[in-house]
């Protein structure tokens, strides 16, 4: 009996890697529920089957690296530019020449050497409690290190890639020394040791634990549109402030979710087709509506809710910089005592 099971498993395992035509194999650090509906539409439109494994970004990169030239994966998707940069560093990707992608995706949201492409974007602004903070008291990320905010700021742990990327962007602009001083100051202003996720920062602010929270826009959007009454009530107590908007300043920190074709992709054409499909009007609209993310493609209107938050100037830094400074950012956070 046991031998039979083992044998059938072996046979099954040999039969699993599929390299037939009409397929594309995706390793995705984006959650299944955020991409699968679009994959289904893609299959409907092109009859190309999409095989999917989701997981944590770093773990997927590791798997890709170890599988080497025989990896079945054709496309890597992540929820952060820093990780795409890392994939390029690890020589796991290949450049893609696609007129569609070049035309539809703004230059700072894709790799200068065409190794990766941003598919959706999100901002990481400041959220303030409406009845405690006046928007005119707020100005820039840098200002959050000012002692006037002592004991008033909530932000999640430094383990989180969004925080690492945010600090990475500051290292790119202000240099490591200033970034360190900023992180030291910010940590002194924490209302509590970092805990929980992005939504939790907004909830804590609403509950009176802090006056300011740093969080990604789509979390706020999902809280407002979701089914959780408590989340909704919490989100309604805070408002968005877009930092660094002054004339000549760089703008609010943004990040992307994006994709790269693997170095040894067996289905490269299909992988490129899938990426192009994800930036077409319909897909970009779906992202905006279903997940409250900003479209990357010019001319696609964000959802009504995102429109309601107003226009803002986004940081035009090329997002490769986030990845370049990632390890440095982690060290700075360690030194600052940012848990």
Partner 1 sequence: MALLTALPILAVFGYVFVPAPEVWQHLRETVLTDYLLNTLWLVLGVGFGVLLLGLPAAWLNSMCEFPGRRLFEWALLLPMAMPAYIIAYTYTGMLDFSGQVQTLLRELTGWGYGDYYFPNVRSLGGAITMLSLVLFPYVYLLARAAFLEQSICVLEVSRTLGSNQWQSFFRVALPLARPAIITGLSLALMETLADFGTVQYFGVSTFTTGIFRTWFGLGDHAAASQLAALLMGFVFVLILLERWSRSRARYHHTSSKYSRIPKFRLRGWTAVAAVLACALPLLLGFVIPVGQLLHWSIKVASKGLDSDFMNLVWHSLMLASLAAVFALLLALILGYGKRLNNDPLVNIASRIAAMGYAIPGTVIAIGVLIPFAWADTQLNHLSKQFFDSNAGLLLSGTLFTLLFAYNVRFLAVSLQTVEAGLGKIKPTLDNAGRSLGLSPLGVLQRLHLPLMKGSLLTAILLVFVDVLKELPATLILRPFNFNTLAVRAYELASDERLADAGLPSLMIVAAGIIPVILLSRSISRSRAGEH
Binding positions for Fe cation? 218-219
Give the nearest distance from C-beta 179 to partner 1 in angstroms: 16
Q: CA torsion, points 169, 173, 174, 179, in degrees to nearest 10? A: 10
Q: Does 195 bind partner 1 (CB under 8 A)?
A: yes
Nearest CB to partner 1, comparing residues 149 and 219 = 219
Query: Looking only at residues 226 through 285 of this chain, which bind partner 1 when binding is defined by CB under 8 A?
Result: 226-228, 230, 234
Tell me which of 45, 113, 301, 327 binds partner 1, using CB under 8 A.
327
Q: Does 217 bind partner 1 (CB under 8 A)?
A: no
Nearest CB to partner 1, comparing residues 9 and 45 = 9
Which stretch, 29-37, 142-150, 182-190, 246-254, contacts partner 1 (CB under 8 A)? Answer: 29-37
Q: Does 199 bind partner 1 (CB under 8 A)?
A: yes
Q: Does 54 bind partner 1 (CB under 8 A)?
A: yes
What string of H, E and C letters represents the secondary structure of the chain? CHHHHHHHHHHHHHHCCCCCCCEEEEEECCCHHHHHHHHHHHHHHHCCEEEEEECCHHHHHHHHHHHHHHCCCCEEEECCHHHHHHHHHCCCECCCCCHHHHHHCCHHHECCCCCCEEEEEEECCEEEECCCCCHHHCCCCHHHHCHHHCCCEECCCCCCHHHHHHHHHHHHHHCHHHHHHHHHHHHHCECCCCCCCHHHHHHHHHCCCCCEEECCHHHHHHHHHCCCHHHHHHHHCEEEECCCCCCCCCCECEEEEEEEEECCCCCHHHHHHHHHHHCCHHHHHHHHHHHCCEECCCCCCCCHHHHHCCCCCECCCCCHHHHHCHHHHHHHHHHHCCC
Give the nearest distance from C-beta 113 to partner 1 in angstroms: 21
Tell me which of 7, 22, 32, 282 binds partner 1, using CB under 8 A.
32
CB atoms within 10 A of CB 12: 9
Q: Does 51 bind partner 1 (CB under 8 A)?
A: yes
Q: Does 130 bind partner 1 (CB under 8 A)?
A: no
Nearest CB to partner 1, comparing residues 57 and 142 = 57
Q: Does 203 bind partner 1 (CB under 8 A)?
A: yes
Give the nearest distance from C-beta 17 to partner 1 in angstroms: 4
- 49-54/23-28 β-pairing: parallel
Q: Does 132 bind partner 1 (CB under 8 A)?
A: no
Q: Does 150 bind partner 1 (CB under 8 A)?
A: no
Tell me which of 38, 48, 71, 324 binds partner 1, using CB under 8 A.
71
Nearest CB to partner 1, comparing residues 203 and 273 = 203
- Residues in contact with partner 1 by CB under 8 A are 2, 5, 9-10, 12-14, 16-19, 25, 31-34, 51-56, 58-60, 62-63, 66-72, 86, 157, 159, 164, 193-200, 203-204, 206-209, 219, 222, 226-228, 230, 234, 326-327, 330-331, 334-335, 337, 339
């Amino acid at each position: 009996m046991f031998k039979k099971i083992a044998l059938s498993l072996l046979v099954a395992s040999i039969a699993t890697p599929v390299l037939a035509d009409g397929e594309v194999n995706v390793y995705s650090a984006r959650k299944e529920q955020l991409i699968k509906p679009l994959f289904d539409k893609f299959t409907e439109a092109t009859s190309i089957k999409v095989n999917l494994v989701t997981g944590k970004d770093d773990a997927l990169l590791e798997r890709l690296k170890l599988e080497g030239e025989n990896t079945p994966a054709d496309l890597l998707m992540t929820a952060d530019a820093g990780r795409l940069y890392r994939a390029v560093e690890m020589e796991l990707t290949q450049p893609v020449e696609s007129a569609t992608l070049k035309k539809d995706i703004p230059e700072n949201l894709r790799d200068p050497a065409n190794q990766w492409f941003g598919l959706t974007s999100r901002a990481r602004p400041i959220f303030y409690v409406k009845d405690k903070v006046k928007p005119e008291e707020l100005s820039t990320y840098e200002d959050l290190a000012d002692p006037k905010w002592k004991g008033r700021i909530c932000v999640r742990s430094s383990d989180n890639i969004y925080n690492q990327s945010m600090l990475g962007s500051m290292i790119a602009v202000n240099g490591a020394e200033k970034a360190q001083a900023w992180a030291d100051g910010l940590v002194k202003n924490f209302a509590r040791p970092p805990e929980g996720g992005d939504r939790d920062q907004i909830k804590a602010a609403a509950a009176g634990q802090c006056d300011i929270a740093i969080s990604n826009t789509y979390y706020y959007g999902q809280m407002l549109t979701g089914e959780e009454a408590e989340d909704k009530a919490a989100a309604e107590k805070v408002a968005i402030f877009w930092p660094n908007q002054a004339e000549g300043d760089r703008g609010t920190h943004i990040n992307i979710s994006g994709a790269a074709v693997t170095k040894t992709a067996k289905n490269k054409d299909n992988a490129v087709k899938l990426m192009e499909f994800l930036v077409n009007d319909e897909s970009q609209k779906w992202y905006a509506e279903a997940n409250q993310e900003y479209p990357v493609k010019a001319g696609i209107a964000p959802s009504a809710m995102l429109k309601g938050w107003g226009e803002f100037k986004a940081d035009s830094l090329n997002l490769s910089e986030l990845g370049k400074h990632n390890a440095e950012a982690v060290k700075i956070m360690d030194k600052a005592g940012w848990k």
